[in-house]
């Protein structure tokens, strides 16, 4: 009986500690609902506040621009076990508490990840490098403090490929929009969500194949930013 009582006390203590370690807050603003589950009791509350603030600033804009049907209910998880930077699936974004603690100014990780929620391509036939390139394009266009994180589009290098994804592809997309076809990303995003995107989409939109566009970009990669 004493052993059983002691076990019950230990279980209760463990449960209490776990409850303390994991907290959940729900934020609501203009029809959007964000649930934040924090699994790290040492994680900075000001960083959580900034994650929340960034979500409510960029997600409605991304949804309005690219996908008005995007879900209005999203969950953030501050994960102590996740070894990457962040990952998104099913309107749930997992952030590495270790990464965000070391890089508290890299707040536009939110912008990249919630763009994936807006994309909502499902079992798309489109290339993964383009999906990630569009997400970093969105970060470039809609990010709230890329400068604070020292995040920029990389300079062109001859060793690069459009298939490098992320910032390399994002820079290429910016160049195509500035020099060849305005609105290309929005069109491609819609095609990817509708599963109508094909390799011919590049030529249909610009008159050039993907390889021809990359060759032109490589010859003169200046972004001609206004």
pTM of the model: 0.89
Tokens of 221: 């990669």
Q: Are 101 and 154 in contact (CB under 8 A)?
A: no
Q: Are 13 and 23 in contact (CB under 8 A)?
A: no
Q: Bridge partners of 26?
A: 35
> Reduced to 3 DSSP states, what percent helix, strand and coil does the chain have, rounded to the nearest 5?
55, 15, 35
The percentage of residues in the chain with a pLDDT greater than 70, rounded to a whole number, is: 90
- Residue 153 DSSP label: P
Q: Bridge partners of 96?
A: 79
- Residue 159 DSSP label: T
Mean pLDDT of 194-222: 97
CA angle, residues 121, 94, 46, in degrees to nearest 5: 125
Whole-number Å distance between alpha carbons of 36 and 33: 10
In this prediction, residue 115 has a pLDDT band, given cuts at 50, 70 and 90, of very high
Beta-sheet pairing, 73-79 with 32-38: parallel
DSSP string, 19-41: HHH-EEEEEEETTEEEEEEE--T
Q: For residue 65, which phi and psi values (nearest 5 degrees)?
A: -75, -40
DSSP string, 77-120: EEESS--SSEEEETTEEEEEHHHHHH-TT-TTHHHHHHHHHHH-
The percentage of residues in the chain with a pLDDT greater than 90, rounded to a whole number, is: 88
- Residue 220 DSSP label: -
Q: How many residues does the chain have?
A: 226
How many H-runs (helices) and E-runs (strands) does the chain carry? Answer: 9, 5
Superfamily (CATH H level) for 22-120: Neutral Protease Domain 2 (1.10.390.10)
Whole-number Å distance between alpha carbons of 17 and 12: 9
Tokens of 45: 């509350």
> In this predicted structure, what is the pLDDT of residue 190?
98
Domain segments of the chain as ranges? 22-120, 124-226
**147-203, pLDDT tens digit by residue?**
999 999 999 999 999 999 999 999 999 999 999 999 999 999 999 999 999 999 999
CA angle, residues 181, 184, 187, in degrees to nearest 5: 140
């Amino acid at each position: 009986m004493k052993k059983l009582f002691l076990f019950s006390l230990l279980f209760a203590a463990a449960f209490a500690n776990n409850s303390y370690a994991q907290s959940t807050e729900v934020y609501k603003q203009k029809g959007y609902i964000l649930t934040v589950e924090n699994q790290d009791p040492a994680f900075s509350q000001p960083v959580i506040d900034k994650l929340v603030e960034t979500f409510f600033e960029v997600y409605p804009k991304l949804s309005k621009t690219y996908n008005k049907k995007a879900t209005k209910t999203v969950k953030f998880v501050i994960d102590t076990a996740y070894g990457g930077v962040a990952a998104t699936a099913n309107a749930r974004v997992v952030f590495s508490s270790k990464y965000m603690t070391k890089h508290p100014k890299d707040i536009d990780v939110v912008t990249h990840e919630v763009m994936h929620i807006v994309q909502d391509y499902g079992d798309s036939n489109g290339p993964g490098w383009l999906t990630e390139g569009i997400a970093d394009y969105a970060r470039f266009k809609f990010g709230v403090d890329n400068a604070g994180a020292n995040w920029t589009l990389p300079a062109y290098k001859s060793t690069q490929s459009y298939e490098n994804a992320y910032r390399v592809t994002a820079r290429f997309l910016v160049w195509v929009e500035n020099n060849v076809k305005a609105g290309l990303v929005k069109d491609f995003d819609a095609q990817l969500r509708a599963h109508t995107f094909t390799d011919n989409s590049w030529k249909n939109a610009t008159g050039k194949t993907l390889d021809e566009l990359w060759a032109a970009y490589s010859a003169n990669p200046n972004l001609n930013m206004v």
